[in-house]
A and B are shown apart, each in its own frame.
Chain A
Amino acid sequence: MATTLVSLPLPALPEGWAAEKDFKPVGKLTKDSAAQRAIEPVGPHFLAHARRARHKRTFSEDDRIQAQERATKVEVDNDSEISEPEDLMMLQRDAKDWKNQDHYKVLGLSKYRHKATEDQIKRAHRKKVLKHHPDKKAAAGRTEDDNFFKCIQKATEVLLDPVKRRQFDSVDEEADVEPPTKKQLAKGNFYKLWGSVFKAEGRFSKNHPVPQFGDDKSTKEDVENFYNFWYNFDSWRTFEYLDEDVPDDNENRDQKRHVERKNASARKKKKAEDNARLRKLLDDCSASDERIKRFRQEANAAKNKKRLDKEAAEKKAIEDAAAKKEAEAQAAKDAEEKAKQEREANKKAKEAAKTAVKKNKRVLRGSVKDANYFASGDASPATIDAVLSDVELVQAKVDPEEIAALAAKLNGLKVADEIKGVWVDEVKRLVDAGKIKETEVKAFKA
C-alpha cells in the first residue's frame, strides 16, 4: 500500500499539553464500530490476508517472513547450477566425440536431466561459458584450449533444440532406472522400486498424466488403469541419435542411400526392441504384483461365493423337497393305518354290538319265555305267537342301545307282571314316539 502524502499541516501542540510518553489514549473502537462482512477470496492481497490469518501473523511479522522466504529462494536458485562438481575426466573429453557425451552432465544439470527447463539450460550454459571460455584459459596461459568449451556449445545446441533434445533424451541411459532384481525385491520395497522404474519410463509418454504405480492400498481401478495405460503405451522415443553418420552428397550416392536405409531399419529394430523390452518389464512386474494376485483372489472368492451360494441353495431346495415328500408319504401312511384301525375297530364294535343285540334279543325273548308268555299254565300257541310277534316288533323298531337298556331292565326280573309292565311301558313309549302303531301291538297293550 503506497503511503499517501498530505500537504495540509498538522496543528501545533497546544500550550500545556502533556501526557505519559507523549501519548494520550482517549477513546477506542467498539463492536459497534465494525460490521461483519465477507471479503471476496480473490486477488494477491487476499492470499496475503489468508496467509496472515491462517498463521496468525501480524503485518510486520508477515513482512519479515515473506522477505526471508524471498531471500532464501534467490540463494537456492543461484546454488543449483554451480553445486555440481565437474569431473576431471569430463573436462578432458574430445569435442569431436560429442555423440557419446552426456550433455546434461557437461552443463552441470545431471540431477535435472529431461526435467531441466529451457531457462535452466540457458542459465547453466552461461555459467559454464563464463568459466570455460577459451579467452579465460588463454589468460591463464593455456592457449588453444577450447576443447571443453566446444563440448559446452555442442551440449547447448542439442538441448536447446526441442527435436534434438528429444532424440538425445530418447537414448539418455543415465535417466533410466534399472528394473529391480529379485534380490532387491526380496527385501521388500516392491512398490517403491517398480514405481521409480515406471516413473522414469513415463518420460517417454505422449499422453499425460502418466498414472502412478501406486502402492499396496491402491484400488483395483487404479491398478487396472495403470496396467492398461502401460500396455497401450504411446511412446515418443526415437533412435535417430544412434544413427551411423551419413556420408556427404559428394561421395558415393549409393553408399549414402545404403547407410540411410541401414539407419532406418536400425531405428525400426531398436524401436521394436524397446517396445518388447517395455512389454517384458510390464510382464515381469505384473507377474510379481501382489495387488493383482489379491484382486484375482478377491474376484475368485466373490465368484466362488456366488457359486457356493447357488449350490447350497440348490442342495437345500432338493433336501426340502425330499423332506416334504417323505413327510407327505408318512402322513398318508399314518392316515391309512388309522383308517384301517378305525375300520377294524368299527368292525369289532359292530360285531360286539351285533352279539350284544343278539344277546339282548335273547334276553328279551328269554324274558317273555321266562314269564311263560304272561299266561298262566301252558300258553297257547296263539298267545306265544302274539307275544313273540310283539317282541319281534319292538326289537325291530328300537336301537341296539334301547334294546340293551330294555335288556338291562328285564335282566333279573322273574316276576311275569313286572316283566310285562316293562314291556308295556316300552311299547307305550314307542307308540308315543310314533314308532309303532297301536294296532300292530297284540299282546303288550296297556
Chain B
Amino acid sequence: MSASKTGPAPSDRVAIGITFGNSNSSIAYTVDDKAEVIANEDGDRQIPTILSYVDGEEYYGQQAKAFLVRNPKNTVAYFRDFLGKDFKSIDPTHNHASVHPEEANGVVSFTLKDKAEEDAAPSVLSVEEVSTRYLRRLITSASEYLGKKVTSAVITIPTNFNDKQKAALLAAAAAADLEVLQLISEPVAAVLAYDARPEAELKDKIVVVAELGGTRSDVAVVASRGGLYTVLATAHDYEFAGFALDNVLMDHFAKEFLKKNPGKDPRENARSLAKLKMEAEQTKKALSLGTNASFSVESLADGIDFSSTINRLRYETIARNVLEGFNRLVESVIKKAGLDVLDVDEVILSGGTSHTPRIAANFTNIFNPSTTILAPATTTTAINPSELQARGAALQASLIQEYEADDIEQSTHAAVTTVPHVTNAIGVVSVSESGTEVFIPIIFPETAVPARRTVLVAAPKAGGDVLVKIVEGNTHIKVTKPEPKKAAAGKANGSNSKAAMVEDAGESGDEGDESDFSDDSEDEEKREKVWKIGATLAEAAIRGVKKGGKVEVTINVTADLTVTVTTREVGSKGGVRGTLSA
C-alpha cells in the first residue's frame, strides 16, 4: 500500500493476485468473480521462482530451472525467504546447487554474470533486485496474457513475515512498477479461495490450513466466523517439505545406481546431483498422480544412463518418516491453538506437496470422520492446492481494486482489524430426547465481535409457553474408556494392523485409506466433543407458541461486549428483546 502515492486511479487499475513463493510462484486474475490462474508463455501455472542468465539473456521459471544443471553459477533460486533478512539469519541450504548468497553492503546478495560481454565483470545483485527482476517477469507474463498492462496486485506472504520483510517485498514490487494493493497471508488466501466458490456456504468453522511447500511447511489454525478470519496459531517447519521427499527419492535411486555401478555415486558430482534432483522431483509428481512412476536420466554419472521405476507403496514406505512429520506438525499447531483435533471442521491442503495422496490419507486418520479434508486425493471437488493462494489473492484483488489506496490502508489498519473475540460460546438451552439440557451454540468461541447470529429452535411439540435461556457454553473432550474386553483385544489389534498391511501390499494400486501407519487409538478409546453449559446470561419467555412452531433467537454482540437478545416465534409479530450491557 505504501508503494503508491502515485498509483493508478482505481478505475485504471488492472489487478491480479500473485503468490511469490520460495520455490514456485503463481499469478491469477478474476473473470466474472471467478479466479483463474494464468499460464505463462511456457504454459506453466506454477512458475519456479528461479532466474537464470545465459550470455546476458534472462530466463525465468521452468526454463531457468533447467539451467540448474548446466549453468548453476548464473542461476538464482530460493531467494524469496532472504528478502528483508540479515545475512546472519538466512539459511542457505537450498542454494547449494545455485548461486550462493553472500553479504554485500550489509544485504544478502548474489554474484552472477548477467551481461552478454565475455569479459564483463560479474554483477552483485541484492536479493531485492533479484526479486524485482523476477516480479517484473511475472507481471510481463500476466500483462501479455491479459492484453492489458498489469498495474496492481495483491501478494501473498507467509504469516511469519515481519515488517522488515514486508517492506523489502513492497520495495521490490515498487521497483518493478507494481502497486501492491495489499499483502495477505497465505493460509487466509487459501481459505478465501475455497470460501469464494459459489457452492460454499457461510459457516462458522475452524479451519486448519496446511501449506506444504517446496522448502518449508507452514500450518495455521484459522477461525472462520461469519466470513471473518482469525489466525489462532501458526507453525513453520523447514524440515518437512517437498525437498525432503525429493531427497528420499534421490537417495533411493542413487543407491540403486550405485548397486549397478559400484563406486560411481551420482551424489558426489554437482551436475549429476542436479540431474538426480530434477528427475526425482518429476518422479515425485508422477507418483502423486499415478501409482507407478519411472525415473530415467541420461548420462547420470560418467556418461552412464540410468532408468528405473518405483511404485507408490514403495515410495510411501521409504518416505514414511517425512510423511509422518507432516502429521506431527499439524497436531502440534492444533495443540498450540489450545484446540483438539475434534474441534477442527475443515483441513485445507495447499501448496505443491499437498498433491501427495499419502499426506491427505494420513490426515483423514488424525481427524474426525466429519472433518472435511480438502485435498485432491480425498475430495474430487478440491481446488488444485498449488493454485489456492494465487486464486485467493486474485479474489482479494478484485474485491479491493475499486477502492482508493488510502481507503484500503485505513480499512486494514490495526484499529479496524483488532477486535475482541469472545472466548466462550453463547447459546441457548434445549432439551434432548432423554430430557437432559443440551447447549445449542449460537455464537461460537473465537468469534470476532461485533457479531450477529440467528438460530431457529423448535418449540415443544405441544406448543405453549417456552423458556429461552441464554447461556455461555464451553466444549470439553469426553473420553470414553473402552470396555475391558476390548482392551484385551489390543494384541489382536496389532495383528489386525499387520493384516491390513498385507492387504495393502496386495492392492498396492489402491488409493485406499486403510494403512499401516494409522494410529490405533481410535479402537482403544472413544473421544467426543461435548458442550458444557456455563453461566446463564438471560432468560426470556415466549408465550403461546403454536403447535409445531419454531422460535427464532438472535444474539447480537457489539464491540463493547453488550449482548442484545431478540427472540420471537417465527411468523408472529413482536417478540421479546433485552439488552445486557457490559
Residues of chain A at the chain B interface (Cβ within 8 Å): 1-14, 17, 19, 21-54, 58-59, 208-209
Binary per-residue interface labels of chain B (527-547) against chain A in the complex, 1 for a CB within 8 Å, 0 otherwise: 000000001111111110000
On whether A39 and B230 interact (CB within 8 A), knowing A2-B201, A10-B428, A54-B416, the answer reads yes
Contact size range, B: 35 or more
Given contacts A29-B582, A53-B416, A54-B410, contact A42 B184 (CB under 8 A): yes
Contacts of A27 in B (CB 8 A): 472, 535-538, 580
Q: Does B133 contact A (CB under 8 A)?
A: no
**Contacting residues, chain A, for B552 (C-beta < 8 A):** 3
Query: In the docked arrangement, what's the CA distance between A7 and B456, Å?
Result: 8
Q: Is the CB of B453 within 8 A of A9?
A: no
- Residues of B279-299 at the interface with A, using a CB-CB cut-off of 8 Å, are none
CB distance from B2 to the nearest CB of A (A): 15
Task: Give the complex CA separation of A164 and B226 in angstroms.
Answer: 49
B410 engages A19 (CB within 8 Å): no
Tell me the bound Cα distance from A280 to B457 in angstroms.
78
Beta-carbon contact of B580 and A9 below 8 Å: no
Quick one: closest B residue to A5, CB to CB? B456
Contact check, B537 vs A28: say whether CB atoms are below 8 A apart: yes
User: How far, in Å, is A29 (CB) from chain B's closest CB?
Assistant: 4
A9 x B399 contact (CB < 8 A): no
* Contact of B399 with A44 in the complex, beta carbons under 8 Å: yes
**A40 CA / B183 CA spacing, docked (Å):** 11
B104 within 8 Å of A (CB atoms): no
Are B431's CB and A9's CB within 8 A? yes
24 contacts between A and B (CB under 8 A): A3-B454, A4-B456, A6-B458, A7-B458, A8-B430, A8-B433, A9-B466, A10-B431, A21-B578, A26-B539, A30-B582, A34-B420, A35-B420, A36-B418, A38-B230, A39-B417, A41-B412, A42-B184, A45-B202, A48-B227, A50-B411, A53-B416, A54-B410, A59-B556
Mark out the residues of chain B between 526 and 582 whose CB falls within 8 Å of any chain A CB in the assembled complex.
535-543, 550-552, 556-559, 561-563, 565, 576-582
A225 to chain B, nearest CB (A): 11
> Are B228 and A36 in touch, CB under 8 angstroms?
no
A45 to B422, CA, bound (A): 18
Please tell me if the beta carbons of A33 and B227 are within 8 angstroms of each other in the complex. no
Answer whether A33 and B424 are a contact pair too, CB < 8 Å, given A19-B539, A39-B417, A40-B184: yes
B185 CB → nearest A CB, Å: 6
Determine if B421 is an interface residue (Cβ-Cβ < 8 Å).
yes
CB B577 to nearest CB in A, in angstroms, measures 7
Q: Which of B188-196, B310-318, B376-384, B515-523 contacts A (4 or more CB under 8 A)?
A: B188-196
Highest count of chain B CB atoms <10 Å: which of A4, A22, A29, A42:
A42
**In the complex, which residues of chain B have a beta carbon less than 8 angstroms from the beta carbon of A34?**
420-423, 449, 561
Chain B residue contacts of A10, Cβ below 8 A: 428-431, 457-460, 466-468, 551
Tell me the complex Cα distance, A208–B419, Å: 42
B438 contacts the other chain (Cβ, under 8 Å)? yes
In whole angstroms, how far apart are the Cα atoms of A209 and B10 in the complex?
13
User: Which 10 A-B pairs give the minimum distances between C-beta atoms?
Assistant: A45-B227, A23-B578, A34-B420, A13-B465, A50-B411, A8-B430, A41-B412, A40-B188, A29-B561, A22-B541
Q: A29 to B576, alpha carbons, bound, how many Å?
A: 20
Residue-wise, chain B 391-406 has the 8 Å CB interface mask toward A (1 for contact) of 0100110011000000
**Is residue B509 within 8 Å, beta carbon to beta carbon, of the partner chain?**
no
Please name all residues of chain B whose beta carbon is closer than 8 Å to the beta carbon of A37 when the two chains form the complex. 230, 232, 418-421, 446, 448
Within 8 A of A (CB), among B55-91: none
A6-B455, A43-B396 known; A23 and B422 CB under 8 Å? no
Q: Give the CA-CA distance A418 to B412 in the complex, in Å.
A: 125
Q: How many Å lie between the Cα of A27 and that of B537 in the bound state? A: 4
A110, chain B: closest CB distance, angstroms: 21
Using CB atoms, name the residue of chain A closest to B451.
Answer: A59
- The A interface is mostly helix, strand or loop, or mixed, namely mixed
A45 touches B472 (CB 8 A): no
State which of A1, A5, A8, A47 has its C-beta within 8 Å of the C-beta of B400: A47
Contact at B540–A6, with CB atoms within 8 Å? no
**B contacts, CB < 8 Å to A:** 8, 12, 149, 182, 184-185, 188-189, 192, 195-196, 201-203, 222, 226-232, 392, 395-396, 399-400, 410-412, 414, 416-424, 426, 428-433, 437-438, 440, 446, 448-450, 452-461, 464-469, 472, 535-543, 550-552, 556-559, 561-563, 565, 576-582
Tell me which residues across on chain B come within 8 A of A42, comparing CB atoms: 182, 184-185, 188-189, 192, 229, 392, 396
Given the contacts A6-B457, A8-B438, A54-B410, A13 and B561 also touching, CB distance less than 8 Å = no
A12 CA to B426 CA, complexed, in Å: 20
Q: Contacts A17-B467, A33-B423; is A1 near B226 (CB within 8 Å)?
A: yes
- A224–B222 alpha-carbon span in the complex (Å): 51
Chain A residues in 8 Å Cβ range of B411: 41, 47, 50-51, 54
A3 close to B229 (CB less than 8 A): no
- A225 to B448 CA separation, bound complex (whole angstroms): 49
Task: List residues of chain A with CB within 8 A of the CB of B192.
Answer: 42-43
Shortest Cβ gap from A160 to chain B (Å): 18
- Verify B538–A25 contact, CB threshold 8 A: yes
Chain A residues positioned under 8 Å from B468 (CB to CB): 10
CB-nearest residue of chain A to B559: A53
Say how far A15's CB is from chain B's closest CB, in angstroms: 10
Inter-chain CA distance A2–B454, complex, in Å, is 8
Q: Are B577 and A23 in contact (CB under 8 A)?
A: yes
Contacts of A33 in B (CB 8 A): 422-424, 472, 561
List chain B residues, Cβ under 8 A from A209: 8, 12
Q: Which residues of A contact B410 (CB under 8 A)?
A: 54
Q: Which of B455, B464, B539, B550 contacts A12 (CB 8 A)?
A: B464
- Least Cβ distance of A207 to chain B in Å? 9
Q: A19-B540, A33-B472, A58-B558 given; name 17 further pairs at CB < 8 Å.
A: A1-B227, A1-B452, A1-B454, A2-B202, A8-B432, A8-B457, A10-B460, A10-B467, A23-B538, A27-B472, A29-B580, A39-B230, A39-B448, A42-B192, A43-B228, A45-B227, A58-B556
Residues in A neighbouring B537, C-beta threshold 8 A: 25-29
Which of B8, B437, B559, B561 contacts A11 (CB under 8 A)? B437
Of all chain B residues, the one with the shortest Cβ separation from A48 is B227
Q: Taking the nearest CB of chain B, how far is it from the CB of A206, in angstroms?
A: 11
Is the CB–CB distance between B230 and A40 below 8 Å?
yes
B227→A36 contact, CB < 8 A: no
Q: How far is the CA of A43 from the CA of B539 in the complex (A)?
A: 36
- Determine the residue in chain A with the shortest Cβ distance to B540: A23
Verify A12–B582 contact, CB threshold 8 A: no
Given the known inter-chain contacts A6-B455, A42-B396, please indicate yes or no for A12 contacting B460, CB distance below 8 A.
yes
Distance A36 CA – B214 CA, assembled complex (angstroms): 34
Taking a contact as CB atoms under 8 Å apart, the answer to whether A11 and B422 are in contact is: no
A-chain residues with CB within 8 Å of residue B543 when the two chains form the complex: 13, 22
| Residue of A2, A7, A23, A209 contacting most chain B CB atoms (<10 Å) | A23
**Residues A29 and B453 in contact in the complex (CB < 8 Å), given A6-B440, A40-B188:** no
A7 closest partner in B (C-beta): B458
CB distance B578 to A25 under 8 Å? yes
**Known pairs A9-B430, A26-B538, A40-B185; A59 contacts B452 (CB<8 A):** yes
CA distance A208 to B346 in the complex (A): 45
Measured in the bound complex, the distance between the Cα atoms of B535 and A12 in whole Å is 20
Decide if A12 touches B563 in the complex (CB within 8 Å). no
Question: When the two chains form their complex, are residues B460 and A9 in contact, meaning their CB atoms are under 8 A apart?
Answer: yes
B residues in contact with A31, CB < 8 Å: 561, 582
Q: How many angstroms between the C-alpha atoms of A282 and B535 in the bound complex?
A: 78
- In whole angstroms, what is the CA distance A393 to B530 when docked? 144
B459 CB contacts on chain A under 8 angstroms? 9-10
- With A23-B578, A35-B423, A41-B412 given, is the CB distance from A8 to B542 under 8 Å? no
Q: How far is the CB of A162 from chain B (nearest CB, A)?
A: 12
**Distance of A51 Cα from B8 Cα, bound (Å):** 23
How far, in angstroms, from A31 to B421 measured CA to CA in the complex? 10
Neighbouring A residues of B536 by C-beta, 8 Å? 26-27
B202 touches A1 (CB 8 A): yes
A169 CB, min distance to chain B CBs, angstroms = 18
Neighbouring B residues of A24 by C-beta, 8 Å: 538-540
